[in-house]
Amino acid sequence: MNRNKITAVFCMLLALSLTALTSCSKNKTNNSQKTQINKKPVREPWKPTKKKLCVVFGYGYTSEFWVHKETQHLKDYYGLSDEEFSETSGLIIPLSWPEDFLIGKTGRISKLNEILSDADICGIIMLGAPEYSNNALAKFREDKDESEFFPIYSLFPQDEILAIEAVSDFVLDRSVEASDNIEEIENAKEEISQVIINGIENIIDNSIEYIISNPKPLKADPELLTHVKKIVGSDYSIKRYVDPETGLSSINHFIIEENK
Give the orientation angle of helix 224-232 with respect to helix 200-213, to 10 degrees: 130
* Helix spans in 57-199 (H): 64-78, 111-115, 133-139, 161-167, 182-196
Residues of the chain with pLDDT under 50: 5-6, 9-10, 13-14, 16, 18, 20-40, 177-182, 185, 188, 191-196
Strand partners, 226: none
In this predicted structure, what is the pLDDT of residue 159? 94
Measured distance CA(188)–CA(166) in Å, rounded = 23
Q: Looking at the whole model, is its pTM more than 0.85?
A: no
In this predicted structure, what is the pLDDT of residue 247? 86
Residue 223 φ/ψ, nearest 5 degrees: -75, -15
Measured distance CA(209)–CA(53) in Å, rounded = 11
- The type of residue at 49 is T
How many CB atoms neighbour CB 156 within 10 A?
Answer: 25
**Helix or strand or coil: residue 61?**
coil
Measured distance CA(212)–CA(190) in Å, rounded = 30
In this predicted structure, what is the pLDDT of residue 198? 59
Residue 54 φ/ψ, nearest 5 degrees: -95, 130
Q: Per-residue pLDDT tens for 199-231?
A: 789 999 999 999 999 999 999 999 999 999 999
In this predicted structure, what is the pLDDT of residue 259? 80
